[in-house]
């Protein structure tokens, strides 16, 4: 169970917010109406109450801050040193000391001014003393504003610290940066520590949990440590040193034998020897990581000697463990040896904790409660367990059946594999005859068997009908061709062939235009260099068809780009008059539209409550009702939008009791 939960520390307000909270609470929780006509004792008690109440609130708030923050001398040394590394305990104690001094000063100020208020001889004197008392209290709080801000920063940082129980079973991972510590932790726990190919990715302590033999272990991933003097180490490295110094844990020292972390085995061995004093009385396991890049057998003789020296040092803390449990090989990339490293560390830690408990004085109290009975042999005759022959035969029969039985998976592999073999769901049916299992189950619809109404030869008959239909169509086409040949002369046959050829060409051109050009616009004259699209050509083609081309030619000319004068005066047939009238009306509409846009808007939008086609309302009444419902739906939300987090809340900007009712005689300014 975690003993220290820094997330429960209350938020520390800054100086201005602190004063606002206390004064607004005093204003709300104490009487506010006083008159000159009151007796002097009543006036004194009125203002004394305000001073005492303010002092009590300040005292409660400041006491809560002092009590909730941990005292470094009373918590576990691990947390005490960790807080000292992160925040400097001298500054921390000074800030809490200033808050405590402010609390005492406020109590003294309240005591002095309550004495003075006992001798106040008028409403004015009592009020001045109350104002002075509250003002001095607020001044004291303003002076500790930097300390309050510093404590709030510490509270925020402490709330982000991991919840580490110093007394539970712990596995501690340490080593140079980028040797695979976080990758190993992600493999054996459900933690999600960031893993990147550069040094010091882990900048603080990370905690994960794993299980071994039905017991919960906490695994701590520490930041990387560099081999340098103690004074030169930064805050990140000191977090690791603090954890190694104070936590009773099994230590996993990670060694990158491939050198891909940027540090040689010699540098890593030097770090091991410089911090080996922190490994005393702790189970130590040296883990050679990244064996997928460099197998243990391929390292040089010099590096192998360094590893053997480290192994010899680790054997001093082995406490009866074998050499194989002290030096382990692993690769977090291929998961080779990951679980064996975890199991070895947990097993050694468990053995050490059991041994320590056996050596303690408390074990005698518990051993007195147990009695282990060990039976003694009465003679030298060996008496084997007696198992009846029937039971042995039944066991042998079951074993033989289990060996002979084939599963569906075996049958699938024997008969072509997945996608070829289809398991039969009917083979376990219990029927009178085995051949019935493969019978087709009849389908019943409306009390009738569907199979009775199906013709078994229907497909054959369908093919015969299709062949007969194709034969008839072929005969009909031959008759048409023969009939055309009999009725038409040679000249008519040539004309018919020409017409059909022309029709086929037109169809192909139309399809090409439709698919490729897709309704192309009129070709401009500058692109019509071959003069294919001219009025003369159109006139010739229309004349060849036996039609009068004059109206079409005049209409094409009237739409040409160079003509700006209206052609409605030139007479012509009815078709031209209709076209000109349409063109004139179009021009007039364009002029009227531009005129209406240049002048002020004569056609404004309809009122909001008026129903317009397309709005989805049948009349204006229905639209009004919809608008009213819409306004009511977000009225409460709009009101809450003005509500803040402070104590002062204005629920309505114009309170009804101040702005309604008849006004009597007298002043009305306050309203």
pLDDT per residue over 576-601, tens digit each? 444 455 555 555 554 554 454 444 44
Query: Which of 601 and 469 is assigned the larger pLDDT?
Result: 469
Q: Using pLDDT thresholds of 50, 70 and 90, give the confidence band for residue 574.
A: very low
252: burial class by Cβ within 10 Å (0-12, 13-18, 19+)? buried
**In the prediction, which pLDDT does 650 show?**
59
User: 518 pLDDT exceeds 70?
Assistant: no
CA angle 297, 223, 322 (to 5 degrees): 40
Q: Using CA atoms, how far apart are residues 208 and 219, in angstroms rounded to an integer?
A: 5
**In the prediction, which pLDDT does 520 show?**
55
Q: b or e along 638-665 (b: 16 or more beta carbons within 10 Å of the residue's beta carbon)?
A: eeeeeeeeeeeeeeeeeeeeeeeeeeee
**In the prediction, which pLDDT does 560 show?**
57
User: 613 pLDDT exceeds 80?
Assistant: no
Number of C-beta neighbours around residue 461 at 10 A: 10
**In the prediction, which pLDDT does 333 show?**
86
Q: What percent of the chain has pLDDT over 70?
A: 83
Number of C-beta neighbours around residue 219 at 10 A: 25
Q: Which residues contact 612 (CB under 8 A, 6 or more apart)?
A: 606
Q: Using CA atoms, how far apart are residues 486 and 479, in angstroms rounded to an integer?
A: 10
Query: Which of 320 and 158 is assigned the larger pLDDT?
Result: 158
Q: Which of 288-302, 507-521, 551-565, 607-621 has the largest mean confidence?
A: 288-302
**In the prediction, which pLDDT does 582 show?**
52
Mean pLDDT of 309-317: 81
User: 363 pLDDT exceeds 90?
Assistant: no
Query: Which of 79 and 2 is assigned the larger pLDDT?
Result: 79
CA dihedral 547, 549, 552, 553 (to 10 degrees): 170
DSSP string, 607-650: PTTS--TTSS-SSHHHHHHHHHHHHHHTHHHHHHTT--SSS---
What φ, ψ does residue 433 adopt, rounded to 5°? -120, 140
Q: Using pLDDT thresholds of 50, 70 and 90, give the confidence band for residue 671.
A: very low
Which of 50-54, 532-536, 559-563 is the least confident region? 559-563
User: 317 pLDDT exceeds 80?
Assistant: no
Q: b or e along 44-77 (b: 16 or more beta carbons within 10 Å of the residue's beta carbon)?
A: bebbbbbbbbbbebbeebbeebeeebbebeeebe
CA angle 417, 420, 424 (to 5 degrees): 95
Query: Which of 464 and 616 is assigned the larger pLDDT?
Result: 464
pLDDT in tens, 540-550: 888 888 788 88
Query: Which of 254 and 196 is assigned the larger pLDDT?
Result: 254
pLDDT in tens, 255-283: 888 888 888 888 888 888 888 888 888 88
Domain spans in the chain, listed from the N-terminal domain onward: 15-160, 170-359
Q: Which residues contact 444 (CB under 8 A, 6 or more apart)?
A: 450
**In the prediction, which pLDDT does 596 show?**
47
**In the prediction, which pLDDT does 578 show?**
43
Return mean pLDDT, the chain.
Answer: 81
Q: What percent of the chain has pLDDT over 90?
A: 21
CATH number for the domain running over 15-160: 1.20.120.1190
**In the prediction, which pLDDT does 325 show?**
76
Which of 142-146, 325-329, 342-346, 665-669 is the least confident region? 665-669
- Residue pair 143/64 in contact (Cβ under 8 Å)? The answer is no
Mean pLDDT of 238-267: 87
User: 563 pLDDT exceeds 80?
Assistant: no
C-alpha distance from residue 408 to each of 106, 267, 400, 404, 422 (Å)? 85, 59, 18, 13, 10
**In the prediction, which pLDDT does 570 show?**
45
89: burial class by Cβ within 10 Å (0-12, 13-18, 19+)? middle
User: 406 pLDDT exceeds 70?
Assistant: yes
User: 513 pLDDT exceeds 90?
Assistant: no
CATH class of the region 170-359: alpha beta
The number of C-alpha atoms within 13 Å of 60 and in the hemisphere containing its C-beta is 9
Nearest to 160 by CA among 207, 201, 200: 207
143: burial class by Cβ within 10 Å (0-12, 13-18, 19+)? middle
CA angle 375, 376, 377 (to 5 degrees): 120
- Residue pair 159/239 in contact (Cβ under 8 Å)? The answer is no
**In the prediction, which pLDDT does 573 show?**
46
Query: Which of 670 and 64 is assigned the larger pLDDT?
Result: 64
């Amino acid at each position: 169970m975690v003993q220290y939960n820094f997330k429960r520390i209350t938020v520390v307000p800054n100086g201005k917010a602190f004063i606002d909270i206390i004064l607004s609470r005093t204003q709300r929780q104490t009487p506010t109406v006083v008159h000159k006509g009151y007796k002097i004792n009543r006036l004194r008690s009125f203002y004394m109450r305000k001073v005492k109440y303010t002092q009590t609130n300040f005292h409660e708030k400041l006491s809560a801050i002092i009590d909730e923050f941990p005292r470094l001398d009373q918590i576990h040394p691990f947390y005490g040193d960790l807080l000292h590394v992160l925040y400097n305990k001298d500054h921390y104690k000074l800030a809490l000391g200033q808050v405590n001094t402010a609390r005492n000063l406020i109590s003294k100020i309240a005591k002095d001014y309550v004495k003075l208020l006992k001798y106040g001889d008028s409403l004015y004197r009592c009020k001045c003393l109350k104002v002075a008392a509250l003002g001095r209290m607020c001044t004291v709080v303003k002076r500790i504003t930097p300390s309050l801000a510093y404590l709030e920063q510490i509270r925020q940082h402490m709330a982000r610290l991991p919840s580490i129980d110093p007394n539970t079973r712990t596995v501690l991972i340490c080593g140079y940066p980028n040797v695979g510590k976080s990758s190993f932790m992600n493999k054996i726990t459900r933690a999600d520590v960031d893993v990147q190919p550069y040094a010091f990715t882990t900048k603080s302590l990370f905690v994960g949990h794993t299980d071994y033999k039905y017991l919960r272990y906490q695994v701590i991933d520490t930041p990387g440590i560099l081999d340098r003097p103690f004074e030169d180490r930064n805050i990140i490295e000191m977090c690791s040193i603090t954890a190694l110094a104070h936590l009773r844990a099994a230590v996993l020292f990670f060694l990158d034998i491939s050198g891909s972390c940027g540090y040689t085995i010699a540098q890593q061995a030097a770090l091991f020897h410089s911090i080996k004093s922190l490994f005393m009385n702790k189970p130590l396991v040296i883990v050679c990581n990244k064996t997928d890049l460099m197998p243990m057998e391929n390292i040089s003789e010099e590096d192998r000697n360094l590893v053997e020296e480290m192994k010899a040092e680790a054997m001093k803390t082995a406490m009866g463990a074998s050499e194989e449990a002290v030096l382990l090989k692993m690769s977090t990339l291929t998961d080779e040896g990951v679980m064996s490293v975890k199991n070895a560390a947990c097993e050694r830690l468990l053995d050490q904790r059991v041994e320590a408990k056996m050596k303690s004085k408390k074990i005698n109290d518990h051993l007195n409660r147990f009695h282990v009975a060990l039976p003694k042999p009465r003679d030298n005759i060996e008496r084997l367990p007696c198992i009846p022959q029937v039971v042995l035969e039944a066991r042998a029969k079951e074993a033989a059946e289990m060996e002979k039985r084939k599963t569906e998976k075996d049958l699938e592999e024997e008969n072509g594999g997945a996608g070829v073999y289809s398991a039969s769901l009917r083979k376990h049916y219990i029927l009178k005859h085995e051949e019935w299992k493969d019978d087709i189950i009849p389908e019943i619809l409306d009390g009738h068997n569907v199979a009775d109404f199906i013709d078994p030869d229907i497909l054959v008959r369908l093919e015969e009908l299709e062949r007969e239909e194709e034969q008839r169509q072929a005969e009909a086409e031959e008759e048409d061709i023969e009939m055309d040949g009999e009725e038409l002369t040679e000249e008519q046959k040539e004309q018919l062939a020409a017409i059909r050829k022309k029709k086929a060409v037109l169809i192909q051109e139309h399809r090409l235009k439709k698919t490729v050009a897709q309704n192309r616009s009129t070709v401009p004259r500058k692109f019509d260099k071959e003069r294919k699209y001219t009025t003369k050509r159109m006139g010739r083609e229309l004349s060849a068809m036996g039609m009068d081309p004059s109206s079409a030619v005049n209409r094409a000319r009237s739409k040409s780009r160079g003509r700006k004068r209206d052609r409605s005066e030139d007479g012509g047939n009815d078709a031209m008059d209709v076209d000109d009238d349409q063109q004139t009306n179009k021009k007039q509409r364009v002029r009227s539209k531009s005129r209406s846009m240049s002048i002020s808007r004569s056609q404004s939008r309809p009122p909001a409550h008026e129903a317009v086609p397309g709005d989805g309302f049948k009349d204006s009444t229905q639209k009004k009702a919809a608008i009213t419902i819409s306004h009511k739906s977000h009225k409460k939300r709009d009101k809450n939008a003005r509500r803040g987090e402070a104590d002062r809340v204005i629920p309505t900007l114009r309170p009804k009791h101040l702005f309604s009712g008849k006004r009597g005689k007298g002043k009305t300014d306050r309203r």
